[in-house]
Amino acid sequence: MWMREIITLGPGQRVHARSRGSCQWAAIQLLVEEFVQHGGTLSGTAFNVPPVARWRPPRAALRQLRHLYQAAIRTAETRSGALADKETVHGLEQQMIHALVESLSAGPVYEETETARWQRGILARFEDLLEAEPPPGVTVIGTALDVSSRLLRECCKKSLGMDPSRYRRLHGMQRTHRALRRENPDTASVSVLARRYGFRTPGRFAANYRTLYGESPSTTLRRLTA
């Protein structure tokens, strides 16, 4: 959910989202069948939520939804993790459902097409292949996905804002960064971790890592003992 827009995702849906600036996200999870039933009852008409869609709610409705969401967070925090009484929880839940139905009442501003759904599936499988250790090269990935290099490049450019090779490197860099932060500096090796996530040239990896994170990989690894 964005500050001015809402994205609805059905069960099992995976999407990529990117922002050109700072953004804030919040999440509300509901059973689809129950929400659709509530929506139909409250709106008096057939209420449908596509598997993947984007909505731009009326400002008043979105403001009310944010207010209720923040109230729910404050309630949980002030009770130090203890559950509020059932009536309070149920009442707040019903108000949020009402506000969410009202926010979606005008219909989506974008509903995914069959082509977009197919391309999103390609990217989801692309992400899965990148989780291998080490991740395969882009040519091997294209063969595994049974798509042309051109199509994979177009999908990545459209949804990720970069070509597959660059995204593969960035994905591997992030995985290496996380590994360096959690491994024991007495037993871990920067070069071994770099190779695990697809970097075969230590010097080039270290230079790119410093550019991205502002410090050397060894500094990140030693930070646990600082």
Q: pLDDT 10s per residue in the chain (226 long)?
A: 445 889 999 998 988 887 777 778 889 999 988 899 988 998 888 888 998 999 999 999 999 999 999 988 887 777 644 455 677 777 888 899 999 999 998 889 999 999 999 999 999 999 999 999 999 999 999 999 999 999 999 999 999 999 999 999 999 999 999 999 999 999 999 999 999 999 999 999 999 999 999 999 999 999 855 4
Is residue 138 located within the same domain as residue 97? Answer: no
Helix, strand, or coil (residue 200): coil
Please say whether the beta carbons of 46 and 57 come within 8 A: no
Is residue 25 located within the same domain as residue 105? Answer: yes
Q: Give how many domains the chain has, as a whole number.
A: 2
Give the separation between CA 88 and CA 1, rounded to whole angstroms.
24
Is residue 95 located within the same domain as residue 163? Answer: no
Is residue 75 located within the same domain as residue 124? Answer: no
The predicted pLDDT at position 79 comes to 63
pTM of the model: 0.78
Q: Does 1 fall in a domain?
A: no
Q: For 211, left (φ over 0), alpha (ψ -120 to 50), or beta?
A: alpha
Q: Does 186 fall in a domain?
A: yes
Is residue 122 located within the same domain as residue 212? Answer: yes
8 forms bridges with which residues in the sheet? 53
The predicted pLDDT at position 87 comes to 75
Is residue 134 located within the same domain as residue 76? Answer: no
Q: Does 72 fall in a domain?
A: yes
Q: Does 73 fall in a domain?
A: yes
Determine whether 30 is exposed, middle or buried from the number of CB atoms within 10 Å of its CB (0-12, 13-18, 19+): middle
Q: How many CB atoms sit inside 10 A of residue 37's CB? A: 12
The predicted pLDDT at position 225 comes to 52
Domain closes at, from 111, 136, 162: 111
Is residue 22 located within the same domain as residue 98? Answer: yes
Which H or E element spans position 53?
A: strand 52-55
Is residue 46 located within the same domain as residue 70? Answer: yes
The predicted pLDDT at position 88 comes to 76
Q: Does 51 fall in a domain?
A: yes
Is residue 12 located within the same domain as residue 86? Answer: yes
163 Cβ neighbours under 8 A, 6+ residues apart: 153, 156, 157
Is residue 123 located within the same domain as residue 92? Answer: no
Owning domain of residue 96: 6-111
Domain closes at, from 68, 96, 111: 111
CATH number of the domain to which 200 belongs: 1.10.10.60
Domain closes at, from 79, 111, 143: 111
Is residue 46 located within the same domain as residue 68? Answer: yes
Is residue 107 located within the same domain as residue 118? Answer: no
Q: How many CB atoms sit inside 10 A of residue 52's CB? A: 20
The predicted pLDDT at position 56 comes to 93
